Amino acid sequence: MHTPSDAIPESLLESRGVAPAVLCARPMYWSVRRELWENRSIYIAPLAAAGVGMLAFLIGLGFSHSTRGHAADQRVELAMPYAHAAWLLLATAFTVGSFYCLDALYGERRDRSILFWKSLPVSDLTTVLAKASIPLVVLPLLVFAIAVTTHLIMLPLNAAALLGSGAAANLRQLPLFQMELVLLYGLAALTLWHAPLYGWLLLVSAWARRAAFLWAVLPLAAICAFERIAFRTSHFCALLEDRLYGFAEDAFALHGQTGVPVDPHLIPLAALTPGRFLSAPGLWIGLAWAAIFFVAAARLRRRREPI
């Protein structure tokens, strides 16, 4: 006689289209595939964001383009729509990754599918690492591929618009290849910097019985408020802000050699500082906390029962 946790519902197998023998062959690979099968927003949301960015770009083509002035100003002006499209995709990836992590372990307990997945010979740590690979590996690569494709579609449309205004030759000043390299580097740096945030969200997802979003946000807000009221300081809030976007100070030389601020729409390759970023204590402290969160989430998943 089997308990519910030992049984493998055939209906669940058929509905998910997953064969246990196949899943057991390569646990990590098929665990990641499972996440992609079950969470279509991982690729639908970036594609939708790219569509919105493309629509805004097409509407912007209807307005006159001013390409007069200094050559550097022309390059920045030409790069702006490409940079804005990339930023929109970056923001979308962070949003999707955050909400995915919040629901990754909480959702399988809520719909009781955890009973099925635990019946397979896949360790809890493998499952958590597979889920962590979505915001840390899959989403960044997917966003980069979509961004490059979007830029390549925008390029001939931009050329056609500039051709109509007699300024098509100015498009040669657009260093598109350089922009893609900077985007790839920025994506890698941002993902590594955000790793402890994703780890915290996965930990909350494994622990919370309800209202996972509130449990992820309210304790942090309470600490900020307590510190502000009790000690008249805001060090914890500053730490959270730094963890959100503080990577830029270590990953880029934002003021250049002459002290002139670098325009974020067009960052030159000379402004990249991978050595300084990889040697930053904040990066490795964050990665250590991320590892702690991932291990703790795996232990919680082992002990937690369906909601």
Please check whether residue 175 is in contact with residue 78, taking contact to mean a CB–CB distance below 8 angstroms. Answer: no
What does residue 150 show for φ and ψ, rounded to 5 degrees?
Answer: -60, -45
Q: Which amino acid makes up residue 10?
A: E
Predicted confidence at residue 221, as pLDDT, reads 95
Q: What is the pLDDT of residue 307?
A: 72
Q: How far apart are CA 305 and CA 307, in angstroms?
A: 6
Q: Which of 251, 280, 279 is nearest to 264 (CA)?
A: 251
| Chain segment 46-96, per-residue pLDDT in tens | 999 999 999 999 888 776 555 555 556 778 888 899 999 999 999 999 999
The share of the chain scoring above pLDDT 90, in percent, equals: 56
- Those residues whose C-beta lies under 8 Å from the C-beta of residue 220, and which sit 6 or more positions away, are 236, 240
At 179 the pLDDT is 93
- Average pLDDT, rounded, for the chain: 85
Other C-beta atoms closer than 10 Å to the C-beta of 280 total 19
Work out the average pLDDT over 235-253. 92
Query: What residue ranges do the domains of the chain occupy?
Result: 10-303
- What's the pLDDT score for residue 3? 41
* pLDDT tens per residue, range 146-204: 999 999 999 888 888 777 665 555 667 788 899 999 999 999 999 999 999 999 999 99
Tokens of 77: 């002006």
Higher pLDDT, 173 or 257: 173
CA 60 to CA 81: how far, in whole Å?
9
pLDDT tens digits along 109-152: 888 888 887 888 888 899 999 999 999 999 999 999 999 999 99
